[in-house]
Structure 1
């Protein structure tokens, strides 16, 4: 984990948006970072499609964790 310096205006935007969307300031910043990174890597996708990619990645990670825990429990 590192420290990232941002402008006062960006921090204010994060503070306002995080409050409106019931996220912590760090969670809001991380969301914008992920969305921005995916937008740069996939310039033809709209915001909704990018959010779908994030949801699919989360579902895949959850499924992989469940499978790992099942195998670990069976081995124990």
Structure 2
């Protein structure tokens, strides 16, 4: 593990985003770094396509997950 120096402003944004996303600050930073790296390697893909590819490669299936609309229709 290494140390990465970032601005105080970016650290504050990481702190806020990590709270919203229920991640640690380090996990949020790692997520942003990973997504940025994948976006640079695959500029033709959208964020949602990158996430879908990651989910598919991890064999995650959303077929058994209910949507918000299904809860409100009940």
Q: Do both proteins adopt the same fold according to a TM-score greater than 0.5, normalized to the shorter chain?
A: yes
Q: Which has the higher helix share?
A: 1
Q: TM-score, normalised by structure 1?
A: 0.72
What residue is the counterpart of 1:25 in the other structure? 25
The alpha-carbon deviation at position 56 of structure 1 amounts to 2.8
RMSD over aligned CA atoms reads 1.5
Q: Which SS does the other structure have where 2:58 is aligned?
A: helix
Rg larger in structure: 1
TM-score by length of 2: 0.74
Gaps of 5+ in 2: 60-74
> Residue in 2 aligned with 1:35?
35
Q: Is structure 2 residue 65 aligned with structure 1 residue 57?
A: no
Which of structure 1's runs of 4+ aligned residues deviate more than 4 A? none
Q: Return 5+ residue gaps in structure 1 as ranges.
A: 60-76
